Every structure is written in structure tokens, then in C-alpha cells.
Structure 1
């Protein structure tokens, strides 16, 4: 064998021996990628049988090229694709971990709020003084404080008879609230809203329902009633009043920042429709909440 032939043979053997470790290394990286992909999928699809995504890179089953055929280009291409997959896997894993962390934070915040609200509901709260706005007249009319409820007082209240069933139903609820028979008033006012949702008194009844809860020392229920009036009857006559009293309920729940947002919403949405009396009440409330 000539020196030239010996040198060529040696070069071919060296090329083949160099390609084999490179291929084995790539197969090892692919296997690691597959394992990481399964771990990520188990986080995204816990217990989801059949939801696993098959890898797009698998060990080659094609016959190995004969010695002497250059394999550098193919190996370089596969190596680049594996490197790209590794980078995508690292990015995906980081995004999943961030999402899970944020979800745990939201769950903890909601649990803290629920516990705080439950604790406040179990504490007796003094009834809020009436600030006017739900009398038969217009907004801003102050309603005199009614005397303490007397046993059987609700039965003694005369049923109104104006010829308008919705008006009569609302006035009945209003008189019950005025007599401080809050449970009976709340039941009557809920009935008005459910039975006559298209009547102008529906807005009055929903707002007065929130005030009844507020006077009864239930600011959480009051806040829901006021918010529902604003959402269900945004054009109702008592929608601005409900936003004002919603701020009052939030202050009782020790949420001054949220109350300030509500006062801002009231001014933005109903600025030109707010009565002078209600404007004055809002200004005082904003000062008490230290709104910016």
C-alpha cells in the first residue's frame, strides 16, 4: 500500500470516529429535551393521559452513510436545531413558572380578602346615619330619623294605594325601612326590583336595599346592592346615589383607595347630573377618605 493510500485510509477512519461521538452527543441532548418536554407537559396537563406531544426530533433510522461521505453539514444542521429547541424549552419553562407564581399570588390575595370580609361581617357595626336621597321626593332630600322599631310596627303600617302597583310596592318597602324594620324592608325592595325591573322605582328600590343593609350594619351586602344598581340601572335616578353610598360602604370595609376610585367614577360618569347636595356629600367623603 502506497503512502498516499495509507494516509487517505487514516483520514477516513479519523473522520468516521469523529462523527460517531458527535452523533451520540446529539442523541443525548435530544433525549434530555424529550425528558424536559414531558416534565413541562406534566405541569401543563397534570394527569392528562394522551395529551403528551410527541417530539419532532427522533434518532435517525436512515442507513448510516458509508465511510468517506462528508457528514459535517448534516450534523451542523441538527446541532443548530437542537440548540434552538433547548432555548425554546428554557423560555417555555420560565413562562410557565412565572404564570404559576402569579396564579398563587392571586389565590392568596383572594383568600386574604375573603377572610377579612368574613371577619368584618361577624363584628357588630353601628347603623350609618341617613344622608338623604331615598325619600319620595328628589335626590338630596334628607329623611328624618325614624324612631326605634316597635314590635308589630310593620303590621300597623298602612298599605299605600296610588293606583300604580310598582309605586305602591316601593312605598311599602320605603315605609318599612323608615320604621327600621330592615329584614321586612329588604324582602319588599327585592320583590320590587324583581317584579318591576322596567319601572323607574326599580332604581329607587335597589338603592334603598343597599341603604337598608348599610343601616343594618352589613357593609359587604350593601356594597353589592349599590354596585348592582349602578350596573343594572346606569340611567336610573338613583344610580349616582348608589355610587356615593358604595364609597361609604367601602370606607366601612377599610378600603379608602377603592372608595376614592368610586367617587372618581361618580364624577366622571354623572358629573352634570349630580345634585348640589350630593356634590357636597361627595366632596366631604373624598376629604374623609384623603383622596388625591
Structure 2
């Protein structure tokens, strides 16, 4: 339809040019041959634009006058030419509408294709890793002994049993506590991290975060321990192990040689938890204070 309309527009331009140069017969020598030539060209235009000649836009045929009038008696009618101009204007308007619709539809299709491509890219599986040659790979037999797990340690860890009760969260915490208590600090760190991430609202969560910090501190990693102590203290200052975490945070800062922050934590602990400072944690508090000089 669009191709046919485009051809019609091109032919319409020719018809307009012909109509613009066709003046009343009296001003153009009133030639009978000139009128027949114009009618012939209009019929040719009809056949090219509308091969079926259904008459939707043009009359099926433009009939010549019934009788030929002498040039000196009357001027031929210009109704056919006027009708052609009107019809061509209508055709051009229709072509413009069709072109606009085509452009809108094409733009919508382009946007849809871009969205589909974006979705496909987002859901595409990651590219497979490049195959390595046997020379580039490291056989297990060549792995340094220091990087291989100690069979004796593996066997010892396997001796630590995991509780099996109707409280899965408590089982996870208790297993981490058993690993820490046995001195398997890296294994305890892994287990307790699993617990605090999987059960953040469990009643044992304050114990888990505090013990995870201790597992790092006891493993000689105060920089990894401090964030867990601070997180547990800030999560709920009234929780069962919030005060413990604040005091252990001070010990982590002492280990990191950050006296200023260590003093801040100790001062906060003494003011916020006086019962602990003079009771259950009195000895630990006094030891920590003796290691730093605070203003």
C-alpha cells in the first residue's frame, strides 16, 4: 500500500504540473487535439495509480464532450481538471498520513526490539571460561603442602558434632560455639557468619555476632573483629551481649594501637553498663583500662 501510494505521489506531481500548465481552451488555441491529449494522460494516470479502476478517488473514465464546440462559441468545461487537482490533494494527504503512521510504527518496533535485546543480554548466561591448556592448569598433586588442609585437623573438626533439634537456628549457633570453644577459629568464623546472616532475628543473634567477633579476635585479627563488635552493640544496646561487644571493641582498638578509640569505647562501656563494669566483666574491664592511658 505504501509503495503504491509513493508511486501515486510521484505521478500526482506530474499531474499537478500538467494541470498547472493547462489553461482554459480559449487561452491555449482551443485545440481539440490538446484536450484529447490531456484526457489521455489523465486516463493513463488512473490506470497506473488504481489499476482496478474502482473509482474510490477518480471517476472510472473522463468522458469527452458529447459534441465538439467551435472555439469561437464556447469554452470547454474545466471540471475534470479541477476534480483531478482535488483528488490528488486528497491522495497526497492520505500518503502523508500513511507515511506518518509507518514512521510511528517503525519507531515503536525499533524500541521494542531494543528492549528485547536488552532483556536477552541481561538473561544471557555468562560466557564459558576459556579452556586452559594442561600446561596452564595446576594438578592437585603439585598444590603446595601449606595450602592443603591438614588431614589431622580435618579429622578433629569432624569430631565436633552439630546439634540436631527442632530449632535449626540454635543448632547453627551452637555448632559455631563448639568450633570456637575447641579452638577451630577459622571454622568457627565460617559457621557463625552463616548463622548471623541466615538468622538475623534469632534470639541467639546477639550471641552469634559477639562470638563471631571473638573468633576473629582470638585468631589474631582485631581488624576483622571490631566491625562485628560494633555492629552487635549498635543493633540493640539492651541485648544480652551488647555490653560484652563494646568492651571487646575496646580490646580490638587496643590491639590495633588506636588509643583514642579504645578510650572512647571504655568510657562508653563504664557509663552505659555500670553493672557489668563492677560485676561480671569487672576484671576484663580493669585489664583493658590498664593497657591504655586515657585523658
Higher relative contact order (CA 8 A, sep 6+): 1
For normalisation by structure 1, the TM-score amounts to 0.46
**Rg larger in structure:** 2
For normalisation by structure 2, the TM-score amounts to 0.46
